[in-house]
Amino acid sequence: MSEGARVDRGDAVLSARGVSRCFGGLTAVCDFDLDLFAGEIVGLIGPNGAGKTTVFNLLTGVYEPTRGNISVRGCDIGRMKPDGIAGLGVARTFQNIRLFRDMTVLENVKVGCQPRKRQSLLGALVRSKHFRAEEAAFEREALELLEMMGLSEVRGVQAGALAYGQQRRLEIARALAGRPKILLLDEPAAGANERESADLQALIREIRARFDLTILVIEHDMPFVMGLVARLLVLDHGETIACGTPEEVRAHPKVIEAYLGQEAAK
């Protein structure tokens, strides 16, 4: 482990220890360790099929780890369901966009507010004053988020009808609506051109500062991720083969091997 990976900066907001996940005979993720400290942006890279998205699924409760522990803000999430983990302040986007396609842009963001609801079903049934106030607040904040993402104009449009880049931004807006502490971005720059990548980088930095976020990002676009993060983890075949600053990782022989094949590494 290099210095960059384990610097003591107080308690980690999210930590995984020895997390493995097997599907039948296949070990998709093996002995995965991670500490995310408040405010940092960490990258997770690796060739196709390395287990990056499986890591996201483990961190958000879609899969239970076969072995190992994950804790979020000091709370063990081993057996928690995804909605409970979302309630702890973990939000994510998806590699293959998973918006609620036939709901409007605004409604998508309002669904994202769900982890913050305080009002019970009873309040909703009688439409109490507090419930209506909460709904109004959600609506207001959803509109602000759309404004920030440049989606105000299309707030009444069905999410499935948006352009690809807009859909990616809407996913981020929806994830932010729950006021998460930790944001997991799964290939946010996929399909973006150079110009859009640069905008996206700026946007991610801006939301981190504005919402006081800790961000873990999966990305294939190397220039994008190298320019964005302070440190990186590299997965290959489910194992963490390297971690450290972008420079350290780039020079790591195992990383070169994983990306370019054994011949190139020699």
Partner 1 sequence: MSDFFNFLLNGLSCGAIYALIAVGYTMVYGIIKLINFAHGEFYMFGAFVGYAALYALFGVHPTGGEPGFLIFAASLLLAGLLTAILAVVVERFCYRPLRNAGRIVALLSALGVSLLLQNLGQQTVGASYRKFAPTLTEARFPRTEVDLASLQPGQTFDRTVVLDYALRDERGRDQQRTHAVVLAGEPLSAAALAETLRLAQASSRPAHAYTYAAVTVSSKQLVIVLTLVLVAAGLYGLVQHTRFGRAMRAVSVDFRAAALMGIDVNRIVSGTFFIGAFVAGIGGFLAGGMYYERIDPLMGLLPGLKAFVAAVLGGIGSIPGAILGALLLGISEKMVEAYVHSGLRDAFAFGILIAVLLVRPSGLLGRFEGDKV
In the complex, the residues that contact partner 1 under the rule CB under 8 A are 60-62, 81-83, 86-87, 91-92, 94, 96, 98-103, 107, 110-112, 114-117, 121, 124, 135, 174-175, 178
- Closer residue to partner 1 in complex, CB, 168/231: 168
- Closer residue to partner 1 in complex, CB, 92/252: 92
Tell me how far apart the alpha carbons of residues 22 and 35 are, in angstroms, rounded to a whole number.
Answer: 22
- Closer residue to partner 1 in complex, CB, 88/189: 88
Q: What is the DSSP string of 24-80?
A: TTEEEEEEEEEEEETT-EEEEE-STTSSHHHHHHHHTTSS--SEEEEEETTEE-TT-
- Closer residue to partner 1 in complex, CB, 174/181: 174
Shortest Å distance, C-beta 114 to partner 1: 4
- Closer residue to partner 1 in complex, CB, 159/243: 159
CA nearest neighbour of 50 among 189, 220, 168, 226: 220
Shortest Å distance, C-beta 201 to partner 1: 24
Tell me how far apart the alpha carbons of residues 105 and 97 are, in angstroms, rounded to a whole number.
Answer: 14
* Exposed/middle/buried for residue 79 (C-beta within 10 Å: 0-12, 13-18, 19+): exposed
- Closer residue to partner 1 in complex, CB, 107/248: 107
| Alpha carbon 116 to its chain's center | 18
User: What size, in residues, is the chain?
Assistant: 266
Angle in degrees, CA 51, 70, 182, rounded to 5: 80
Shortest Å distance, C-beta 188 to partner 1: 16
Shortest Å distance, C-beta 76 to partner 1: 19
Shortest Å distance, C-beta 229 to partner 1: 23
Shortest Å distance, C-beta 85 to partner 1: 8
Query: Tokens for 136?
Result: 């109004």
Query: Tokens for 202?
Result: 């700026």
